[in-house]
Amino acid sequence: MRRCSPPTFACWLLKSLLPDPYREAVLGDLIEEYRLRIESPSRFTASRWFWSQTCRSVPSMFWCSLRSRGCFISMSIAVGVYIFMGTLKFAADWIIWKLVAPDQATYVVLAPIVFLTTTAIGGCVAARIRRGTTTFLALIVMITVAILIDVKVCSIPVPWWYQFGFLTLGPLAVIITPTLLAHLKRPGAVT
Amino acid sequence: MKRGELLGSLEHIILLALVRLDGNAHGMIVRREIEERTGRNLSIGAVYATLERLEAKGYVSSFTGDPTPERGGRAKRLFRVEAAGKRALQISNQTIRSMTAGLKGHWGTI
């Protein structure tokens, strides 16, 4: 039975990112088609097809959910949570500077920890207030980080992968942390 | 003709696929029908996003089917074309026919 299962991470992505009304229908359709395809060409081809469908479906469905009712409420909540996150990060940075007074090298290490912690907290708060808000929040985080990288707000010289880490891990922390916490609370839950 | 009655190209194709399937069809069947007939490899997300739009316009209606084991215990969402959808298709087809009438000689130059 396990051999017939579609890629787990792709399923998890779809479950996390697709809007509520069509989540089950889309997943069911993809699983049904995957099981048909796995028999004829190969498991690899079927998995590649499943991944391609996942990557192409998420933006369409996300745009669809944007247009549907309630997206502006989610967007407003996401902006509110983002301001809260910014305040939290500012406070954490201020405390670090006042108490530890780190040199540049230490700050380069501490900055991602503070950033990822605040984005994870923000993600949990957003998910707690309203389901689906985390996607908007992740987008806001990604756009803000991209702008900050572009305007070179960081005066400390850092390698490109360091900045790329902020760009990718920040939004991921927003989306993944609430889901992970929900799974940890329900260890026996079937995914 | 009202602006709302004009169909987008994907809306048009999906409505035609639903009519061809003659009854209740779910997203993957619609996707497969379009791929077989036109060669367009649509994503299932694009199909459902369009179906949702058509449902909001009242052109199609949907209901939930029974969950089946081959779908991992998930239910199908089945769609059918409503009278308003058929009317919109007729208007859209008529518009295309009117606009393409007499253009046979021009296809080589377009």
CATH number at residue B86: 1.10.10.10
CB contact under 8 A, A32 and B28: yes
User: Which of B3, B57, B51 minimizes the C-alpha distance to B27?
Assistant: B51
Q: Reply yes or no on whether the pLDDT at A191 is more than 50.
A: no
CB-based contacts of A160, cutoff 8 Å, min separation 6:
none
Distance (Å, whole) CA A124 – CA B63: 33
CB-based contacts of B26, cutoff 8 Å, min separation 6:
A25, A29, B65, B76, B77, B78, B79
CA dihedral for A38, A43, A45, A49, sign (positive or negative): positive
More confident residue, A102 or B5: A102
Q: What is the DSSP string of B11-62?
A: HHHHHHHHHHHTS-B-HHHHHHHHHHHH-----HHHHHHHHHHHHHTTSEEE
CB-based contacts of B38, cutoff 8 Å, min separation 6:
B13
The SS3 of residue B66 is strand
Does residue B73 lie within any of the structural domains?
yes
Q: Model confidence over B69-92: pLDDT tens digits?
A: 888 888 889 999 999 999 999 999
CB contact under 8 A, A26 and B70: no
| pLDDT at site A149 | 82
Does residue B70 lie within any of the structural domains?
yes
Helices A133-150, A71-99: crossing angle, 10 deg rounding: 50
ipTM: 0.82
In Å, how far is B95's CA from the nearest CA of chain A?
A: 27
- Show the tokens assigned to A79: 């902006």
Does residue B63 lie within any of the structural domains?
yes
| pLDDT at site A66 | 67
Residue A1 binned pLDDT confidence (cut-offs 50, 70, 90): very low
> Tokens 């003709």 — which residue?
B1
| pLDDT at site B1 | 45
| pLDDT at site B36 | 93
Among A22, A58, A67, beta carbon nearest to B77:
A22
Does residue B106 lie within any of the structural domains?
no
User: Alpha-carbon Rg of chain B, whole angstroms?
Assistant: 16
Q: Model confidence over A2-48: pLDDT tens digits?
A: 457 888 888 888 887 787 777 888 999 999 889 888 877 677 888 88
DSSP 8-class letter at A5: P
Does residue B93 lie within any of the structural domains?
yes
Q: Whole-prediction pTM value? A: 0.59
On the CB side of A13, how many CA atoms lie within 13 Å of its CA? 18
Does residue B107 lie within any of the structural domains?
no
User: Which of A3, A89, B4 minimizes the C-alpha distance to A97?
Assistant: A89
One-letter amino acid of A7:
P
A38 touching B (Cβ < 8 Å): no
| pLDDT at site B2 | 56
| pLDDT at site B82 | 93
Contact by Cβ (8 Å): A121, A170? no
Q: Reply yes or no on whether the pLDDT at A70 is more than 70.
A: no
Does residue B90 lie within any of the structural domains?
yes
| pLDDT at site A67 | 67
Q: Model confidence over A106-159: pLDDT tens digits?
A: 878 888 898 999 999 999 999 888 877 888 899 999 999 888 888 776 677 777
| pLDDT at site A76 | 85
In Å, how far is B8's CA from the nearest CA of chain A?
A: 15
- From chain B, pick out residues whose CB is under 8 angstroms from the CB of A21: 52
**How many domains are contained in chain B?**
1
| pLDDT at site A74 | 81
B36 touching A (Cβ < 8 Å): no
Q: Reply yes or no on whether the pLDDT at B97 is more than 60.
A: yes
Q: Which domain holds residue B66?
A: 7-100
Residue B60 binned pLDDT confidence (cut-offs 50, 70, 90): very high
A10 touching B (Cβ < 8 Å): no
Among the residue ranges A30-34, A52-56, B29-33, B102-106, the one predicted with the least confidence is B102-106
- From chain A, pick out residues whose CB is under 8 angstroms from the CB of B77: 22, 24-25
Provide the β-strand partners of residue B25.
B79
- From chain A, pick out residues whose CB is under 8 angstroms from the CB of B57: none
A41 touching B (Cβ < 8 Å): no
Does residue B108 lie within any of the structural domains?
no
Q: Reply yes or no on whether the pLDDT at B23 is more than 90.
A: no
- Show the tokens assigned to A67: 């247009």
- From chain B, pick out residues whose CB is under 8 angstroms from the CB of A17: none
- Show the tokens assigned to A136: 């908007």
Which of the residues A60, A63, A191 would you substitute to probe the B interface, choosing the one with the greatest number of B C-beta atoms within 10 Å? Answer: A60
Cβ burial of A100 (10 Å; 0-12, 13-18, 19+) is: exposed
